[in-house]
Amino acid sequence: MTEQQSSDTENGPTDNAQPPLFMTLTDVAIELRVSTRQVRRLLSSGRMYPADVSLGGKRGRRWRRDRFEEWVRANCPRARAWQAFTAAPSSVALAQRMDSPSLA
């Protein structure tokens, strides 16, 4: 057994890898526990927000993991509602604008 192998077995596997920043269609399907075909249906019916990035063609769709997780925490709203929600300024930004001297 090599030194590296013995180190791995003594301390357990070292899996400090973070999940990738972008998710594929398959990743999204796994997270939602549905088939990739069902994800495509959700997209075409407007029940899921469109991919954040397109790398050319339908096979190149990617979703940002943080936005996807936020969408799931918001109970998976329809695409139009999600776009309105994410486009609306946050309450923190509104409070900062209200405190700015330019509005006084």
Alpha carbon distance 53, 28 (integer Å) = 14
Question: Is residue 63 a contact partner of residue 22, using CB atoms and an 8 Å limit?
Answer: yes
Q: Tell me: the pLDDT tens digits for 4-41?
A: 554 445 554 556 788 888 999 999 999 999 999 999 99
Structural domain spans, the chain: 19-80
Question: What is the DSSP-derived secondary structure letter of residue 47?
Answer: S
- The phi and psi torsions of 64 (rounded to 5 degrees) equal -70, 130
Furthest-apart CA atoms within the chain: distance in Å: 73
Q: Residue 99: pLDDT above 80?
A: no
Q: pLDDT (tens digit, 9 = 90+) per residue, 42-90?
A: 999 999 988 888 887 767 889 999 999 999 998 988 988 888 887 876 5
Architecture of domain 19-80: Orthogonal Bundle (1.10)
pTM: 0.64
Helix (H) or strand (E) holding 53: strand 53-54
CB 22 within 8 A of CB 65: yes
DSSP state of 52: S
